[in-house]
């Protein structure tokens, strides 16, 4: 016995009317940017006070730029270099606590970068251990 299945016919999706005929129309500029051209002041003319305010405003913006730069540099500062190990005076490597049952889970620490070995072997890893400090990034309003 052969069972024939009827194809499932879904109703077509309703098309939402839009002023946008294509995807590119979404990104198309609707109007050209306005360019304001002011006439050059003559030597005999006094410059209007409005222009001086604009110049002062731009000077204020220029004065604020170093403050803004310092703020962003504080937020996105590069990571501090790892300390030197006490035994070999070489840069340490950073590791993370992986034991989920530990209270220190997820915390970072520094150890000597050399491989494990006998305690009497000077070429083996020394006993250097240091926790990485959790410095909170704060932005001062100064």
Domain boundaries, the chain: 80-133
Report pLDDT for 135: 67
Q: Would you say 110 and 130 are in contact if contact means Cβ atoms under 8 Å apart?
A: yes
Cα–Cα dist 85/90, whole Å: 6
Report pLDDT for 56: 52
List the structure tokens of 51: 């222009």
Write the DSSP symbol of residue 44: S
Bridge partners, residue 131, by sequence: 109
Segment 73-82 mean pLDDT: 84
> What are the pLDDT digits (tens) for 78-134?
888 999 998 899 999 999 999 999 999 999 999 999 999 888 898 999 989 999 987
Q: Could you tell me the CA-to-CA distances from 130 to 87, 117, 126 in Å, in that order?
A: 13, 20, 12
- Which pairs from 49-57 meet CB under 8 Å and 24+ separation? none
Report pLDDT for 89: 92
Q: Is the pTM of this model over 0.85?
A: no
């Amino acid at each position: 016995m052969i069972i024939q299945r009827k194809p499932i016919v879904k109703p077509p999706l309703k098309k939402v009317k839009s002023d946008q005929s294509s995807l590119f129309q979404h990104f198309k500029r609707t109007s050209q940017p306005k360019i304001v051209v002011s006439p050059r002041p003559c030597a005999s003319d006094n410059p209007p006070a409005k222009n001086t305010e604009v110049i002062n405003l731009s000077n204020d913006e220029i004065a604020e730029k170093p403050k803004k730069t310092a703020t962003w540099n504080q937020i996105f500062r590069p990571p501090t270099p790892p300390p030197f190990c006490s035994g070999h005076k070489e840069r340490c490597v950073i590791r993370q606590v992986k034991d989920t049952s530990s209270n220190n889970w997820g915390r970072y620490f520094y150890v000597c970068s050399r491989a494990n070995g006998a305690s009497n072997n000077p070429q083996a890893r020394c006993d250097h251990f240091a926790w990485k400090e959790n410095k909170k990034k704060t932005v001062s309003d100064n």
